[in-house]
Chain A
Amino acid sequence: MKKLRFYFALWMAKAVRLAMRLLGRNASYLPGKLAVKLCPDILAHIIPPKTVIAVTGTNGKTTVSNLLTSLLRKSGYTVANNALGSNIQGGVVAALLENATLSGRVKTDAAVLEVDERSSLLVYGDLKPDYLVCTNVMRDSIKRNAHPGFIRYLLDKAIPAGTKLILNGDDLICAELAPQCAERTYFGIQAEAPEGAPDLEGLDLVYCPHCGGKLEAEYLRYDHIGRMRCPSCGHASPAPDFLVTEICREAGTVAISQDGQPQTYKLLNDNIVNIYNQCCVVAVLSRLGLSPEKIAAGLDTVEIVKSRYDHVESGGLKITMQSAKGQNPDACARSFQYVADQPGENKAVFFLIDDKGDSQGSSENPCWIYDCDYSPLAHPSISQLVFSGPRCLDQQLRALIAGVPQEKIALWPSFQGGGHLVDTEKCRDIYILYDVYLDKEALSVKKALLEKEAGK
């Protein structure tokens, strides 16, 4: 009976997918959602490919999934993935069914599945990944994810004991995930370690998870990402198996050592967050058996997708677009820090980081902007901040509290337009920071700025 229900769900989903594709739709979620509705344990019946890699974590899972899929394909693998669809249960099912035979066997060599942390129990209950990659566990939308302790609770409950883990060793919350899993690989960054031992107040990890003693940070790169140690019991961040030992921005290279053996790779992006992502990708591919030389050759041919990062120059006007994932304090803070860290003066920053969904029939909870470090925006190299969107007044107050002078702030209460407020006479280095659901609006601002420049 169970099998009959599975086949019915599988074939219905395939039929719906075919119909949607004929209508020119992506069909990357709805067929999966329908299949789950018809057969709630459908993941238990699908015959998975030889290698299933689940990618989760607060920040970076899309980038890592996309890079892994791309590099595996370049290495000759056939790969099922949910890059075009949703990362919740329906999207995962849709991706697998898309590549499944009529009997439910996934035909590809591997599946790279981005999985939302909140969907862990629904997905890993029936689909046991061979590898689970966790990029980090940080604060995210409080509406869904509450706090990192809650996410860790969910992941600990959900991850099957036999799964091999590939974890960020510089994130002690992430590194401690799922103690039931014995095979663990850690990645981290040693190069450019900040100096000084910062205070841990306000971080999501202040006290030792083992003995309750106050943790000490050897250094922190951002939030709780860095190296920590408990002086009371000696518990500490694990030694990474894959370690970034050198970042050479001028040459555009990064050295990553595996078990002490360094290998130089093309630096995909010099944002520290993306260096973690790149190191993570190298670790996964190595564990899958790819040689460092093969990984290096693959990395030479890929880029971080432009929907996440893009840079153009026109007539001396530089425009950098960076996705900043609204309601995610850490992702936004990293983008703010990235802008502050870039060389140059008279930068302008255009913000599209309010929540698009909450702007329709709701009013966004601004808690997260107070969990986010806005102090980089007070950097003297930043001459103008343009906050656009319905929460621009909240953004203004937050920026003022962070020390940004009032005269540097301009407000535009809509997601549409606002580019004309950017002072392109004074500011020739413009950053557009945008939530992933506001990419079209961000592109419109970029287009308007380029047209204004061309018309000068």
Chain B
Amino acid sequence: MTAEILFPEICGLYGDAYNGKYLAMACPQWDFHYTPFTEEPYFATHPVDLLYIGAMTEDAQRRVLEKLRPFKARLEELIDAGVPILATGNASELFAREIDFITEGVKVQGLGIFDVTVKTDLFRRFNGKVLGDMGGRTVVGFKSQFSFLYGDNTDSYFLKCVRGVGLNPASKLEGLRKKNLICTQLLGPLLVLNPDFCAYFLGLAGVEAQLPYPQAARAAFDQRVKEFSDPKIQFGHNR
């Protein structure tokens, strides 16, 4: 089995580097390719069984988009083939139709996998939490972002928010999904915080992996679900 972690040197912000590292710990027998930004993505010319990309700076986001743009058709091929692909934090926004960097007055075309747009405002940072339901699985995560997505994801969402906001403050549907491509703004790191979702994601690749430190991961997850279910806990605010 082959997994590719895209541009780990710049796409591991906000703890997201540990999504890839946790996967590698869970699947020690896999062949992991950590593709630096200076090289062509491994998936461009090789089969992959799993793809991951994490959060990055807004400047890096523009550069990563240009890097991936030539491989849009190949990415669509992988998506259609059902390859599990996870994009967390603002990596999820790469797959939108357009990113509007309001502060700089720049609009950039996204990969256009989903018909949604992104608005990024560096003077408006949103911090929040999400208690979500993904087909009966509880998923918890955090949002810490300058951006929201706008568009209709009623047929293409990742999870329903039991608490917290989805694509934007008016939405209760978080993230985007097309087959096994999952795009979510949730941070945590998501796979470390959610042992059930991590096992599910690896299951999409046909693997039943033994997660690292399952008891400690479960204990932390259970406590967070309990906290997030407490009505006294606040769920989001701007700074």
Q: Does A367 touch B at the CB level, under 8 Å? A: yes
With contact pairs A144-B125, A214-B38 given, residues A393 and B15 touching in the complex (Cβ less than 8 Å): no
Q: How far is the CB of A90 from chain B (nearest CB, A)?
A: 16
Residues of B with C-beta under 8 A to A363: 129, 224, 227-228, 233
Which of A200, A361, A370 is B9 in contact with, Cβ under 8 Å?
A200
A379 in the interface (beta carbon within 8 A): no
Chain A residues, CB < 8 A from B216: 393, 396-397, 400, 406
- A367's nearest neighbour on chain B, judged by CB, is B15
Question: Do A144 and B227 form a contact, CB below 8 Å, given A202-B17, A367-B144, A396-B216?
Answer: no
Compute how far the CA of A363 lies from the CA of B38 in the bound complex, rounded to whole angstroms: 38
Q: In the bound complex, how far is the Cα of B127 from the Cα of A203, in angstroms?
A: 23
Q: Which residues in A have their C-beta under 8 angstroms from that of B59?
A: 149
A173 to chain B, nearest CB (A): 12
Q: Say if the beta carbon of A207 comes within 8 Å of chain B.
A: yes
Q: Are B233 and A361 in contact (CB under 8 A)?
A: yes
Q: B129 → chain A, closest Cβ, in Å?
A: 6
A338 to B166, CA, bound (A): 41
Give the interface segment out of B45-53, B69-77, B184-192: B184-192
Interface flag for B37 (CB, 8 Å): yes
Q: How far, in whole Å, are A164 and B58 apart by their CA atoms in the complex?
A: 29
Interface flag for B44 (CB, 8 Å): no
A226 to B233, CA, bound (A): 42
> Do residues B18 and A370 form an inter-chain contact, with CB atoms below 8 A?
yes
* Contact B192–A142 (Cβ < 8 Å): no
**Is residue A414 within 8 Å, beta carbon to beta carbon, of the partner chain?**
no
Report if A423 contacts B (CB, 8 A).
no
A273 at the interface (CB under 8 A from B): no
Interface: B79 (CB within 8 A): no
CB pair B220 A150 closer than 8 Å: no
Are B9 and A206 touching (Cβ within 8 A)?
A: yes
With a cutoff of 8 Å between Cβ atoms, the chain A residues found around residue B224 in the complex are 363
In the complex, whether A130 has a CB less than 8 A from a CB of chain B is no
Question: Per DSSP, are chain B's interface residues mostly helix, strand or loop, or mixed?
Answer: mixed
> In the complex, which of the residues B22, B37, B57, B223 contacts A150, with contact meaning CB atoms closer than 8 Å?
B57
Q: Are B9 and A202 in contact (CB under 8 A)?
A: yes
Q: Interface range on chain A: under 10, 10 to 19, 20 to 34, or 35 or more?
A: 20 to 34
Q: A143-B127, A361-B234 are in contact. Are A201 and B8 (CB under 8 A)?
A: yes
> Is A396's CB under 8 angstroms from B144's CB?
no
Which residues of A sit under 8 angstroms from B217, Cβ to Cβ? Answer: 397
User: How many angstroms between the C-alpha atoms of A400 and B218 in the bound complex?
Assistant: 13
The CA of A371 and the CA of B192, in the complex, are separated in Å by: 13
**A206 in contact with B10 (CB, 8 Å):** yes
Residues of chain B with a CB closer than 8 A to A362's CB: 233-234
Bound-state CA distance A153–B121 (Å) is 13
Contact A371–B14 (Cβ < 8 Å): yes
Mask, B156-194, CB within 8 Å of A = 1, is: 000000000000000000000000000000011100110
B122, A153: Cβ atoms closer than 8 Å: yes
| Chain B interface size, under 10 / 10 to 19 / 20 to 34 / 35 or more | 35 or more
Q: Which of A189-217 contact B (CB under 8 A)?
A: 200-203, 206-207, 212, 214
B114 in contact (CB, < 8 A): no
Q: Does B95 count as interface, using CB distance less than 8 angstroms?
A: no
B112 within 8 Å of A by Cβ?
no
A365: B residues at CB distance < 8 A: 127, 129, 142, 144, 187-188
Return chain B residues, CB-CB under 8 Å to A207: 10, 37
Q: Considering the chains assembled together, what is the distance between the CA atoms of A434 and B224 in angstroms?
A: 23
Question: Residue of A at shortest CB range from B226?
Answer: A363
Give the chain B neighbours of A371 by CB distance below 8 A.
13-15, 17
Q: What's the minimum C-beta distance from A372 to chain B, rounded to whole angstroms?
A: 9
Provide the bound-state CA to CA distance between A16 and B33, in Å: 62
The answer to whether A370 touches B142 (Cβ under 8 A) is: no
Distance of A150 Cα from B17 Cα, bound (Å)? 19
Q: Tell me the complex Cα distance, A394–B127, Å.
A: 19
Task: Please give the distance in Å from A68's CB to the nearest CB on chain B.
Answer: 29
B239 interface neighbour in A143, A206, A212, A367, Cβ under 8 Å: A143
Contacting residue for B17 out of A206, A212, A370, CB 8 A: A370
Cα separation A143 to B126 with both chains bound (whole Å): 8
A146 touches B125 (CB 8 A): yes
Complex contact A401–B9 (CB within 8 A): no
- Nearest A residue to B235 via CB reads A362
Q: How far is the CA of A371 from the CA of B129 in the complex (A)?
A: 19
Q: Say if the beta carbon of A369 comes within 8 Å of chain B.
A: yes
- Given A363-B227, A367-B15, A368-B15, A401 and B234 contact (CB-CB distance below 8 Å): no
Nearest A residue to B56 by beta-carbon distance? Answer: A147
Q: Which residue of A lies closest to B14 (CB)?
A: A367
Chain B residues, Cβ within 8 Å of A206: 9-10, 37
Report Cα–Cα, A147/B12, bound state, in Å: 12
User: A202 and B12 in contact (CB under 8 A), knowing A143-B127, A367-B144, A401-B18?
Assistant: yes
Q: CB of A344 within 8 A of chain B?
A: no
CB neighbours of B187 from chain A (8 A)? 365, 367
- B212 at the A interface (CB under 8 A): yes
Q: Which of B8, B13, B220, B228 contacts A147 (CB 8 A)?
A: B13
Which residues of A, 274-303, contact B by the 8 Å Cβ criterion?
Answer: none
| Complex Cα–Cα for A366 and B12 (A) | 15
A372's nearest neighbour on chain B, judged by CB, is B15
| Contacts of B205-229 to chain A: CB distance below 8 A | 212-213, 216-217, 219-220, 223-224, 227-228
Contacts A202-B12, A365-B142, A401-B212 known; list 16 others, CB within 8 Å: A150-B58, A150-B122, A153-B122, A203-B9, A206-B10, A361-B232, A361-B234, A363-B129, A365-B144, A367-B188, A370-B18, A370-B192, A371-B14, A393-B219, A393-B223, A397-B216
Q: Can you give 16 A-B contacts (C-beta < 8 A)?
A: A143-B125, A146-B146, A150-B58, A200-B9, A206-B10, A362-B233, A362-B234, A363-B227, A365-B129, A365-B142, A370-B192, A396-B220, A397-B192, A397-B220, A401-B25, A401-B212
